[in-house]
Amino acid sequence: MKILGVDPGTLITGFGIIQYEKNKLTYITSGIIKPPPRTSMGIRLKIIYDDLFSLIKTFEPDEFAIETAFYGKNIQSTMKIGYARGISILAAVQNNINTAEYSPRSIKQAVVGKGAASKKQVQFMITRLLALGNGDKTFDETDALAVAVCHAFKANESKSAGQSWKTFVDNNPDLIVR
């Protein structure tokens, strides 16, 4: 399953694409979409939409995952993130891709094991999980990759739900410590 993860923002939108097969995570690509800062909101949103649409056409992901908005101290910032989320989801839906949303806390919990993890901790774990080497990815990229990894883990959990321990062990011999 190929997953496109998105960390939405109107100034910088991070994206990351991974492959998840047989409990193995493989990095495909990541980057940021950074519209010119002095452009109007409508133009910034169009740039984000067009770039995500193009990424979807190029890489043909099977699944799309995005971080939910959280309410901070500035309601205007929260609303702007909502705009970026909306057009990001629209790009996925217009390409008939299943979408999922995850809270920042659940993403951090899935990737780091702690819902209150810092961006630096998320970046460290993503760099290790995806074997990214020197860790030269921005926080926006590693956050987007974390969304994709979270989705992979959640999809695996739901696929495993109801399985017996024997079935789990048979399907995951690499996870058994002897």
61: which 2 tokens?
Answer: 């992901």
Is 7 one of the annotated active-site residues of the chain?
yes
Whole-angstrom distance, CA of residue 146 vs CA of residue 137 = 12
Catalytic pick among 7, 51, 63, 143: 7
Catalytic pick among 51, 63, 67, 143: 67
Phi, psi of 124 (to 5 degrees): -60, -50
Catalytic pick among 21, 60, 62, 140: 140
Is 67 one of the annotated active-site residues of the chain?
yes
Biggest CA–CA distance in the chain, Å, is 59
Q: Which residues are catalytic, by number? A: 7, 67, 140
